[in-house]
Amino acid sequence: MSEKICFVGSKEPFEYTLSIISGKWKLKIIYLLACMGTVRYGVLKKNIDGITHKMLSSQLKELESEKIISRKEYPQVPPKVEYALTEKGQSLVPLVISMCDWGEMHRTG
């Protein structure tokens, strides 16, 4: 019996996905954008319990650089910035739904 991995071929794809969604806040942000569509920064912040200004900024930046979310800035005063899932981000929604489903089935106990 081999000790090597043989589940779905290379482990790299899994690692890649992991690198995208790892971190304390990433999945929560994706989840909220999946729920709420296009949202302003402040609204996002209000809905993520305990996150700080700095953290939210940095996480949004990382997700944007991975093309998971899009950022639209309106050149006005006061500033207004809206975030939304990209197509790539949308493709993660089934995963989020799976997580919700799993949570519903197992949280009691």
Partner DNA sequence: CGGTATCCCTCCCGATACTG
Partner DNA sequence: CAGTATCGGGAGGGATACCG
Q: Which residues bind DNA (CB under 7 A)?
A: 23-24, 40-42, 45, 50-55, 57, 60-61, 71, 73, 78-81
Judged by phi (left if over 0) then psi (alpha if -120 to 50, else beta), residue 37 lies in: left
Q: Which is nearer to DNA, 19 or 57 (CB)?
A: 57
For 54-95, what is the HEC assignment?
HHHHHHHHHHHHCCCEEEEEECCCCCEEEEEECHHHHCCHHH
Which of a copy of itself, DNA, none binds 52 (CB below 5-8 Å, type-dependent)? DNA
CB of 23 to DNA, least distance (A): 7
Report d(CA 73, CA 88) in Å as an integer.
20
Q: Which residues bind a copy of itself (CB under 8 A)?
A: 3, 5-8, 11-18, 21-22, 24, 27-28, 31-32, 34-36, 39, 43, 46-47, 67, 88, 91-92, 94-107, 109
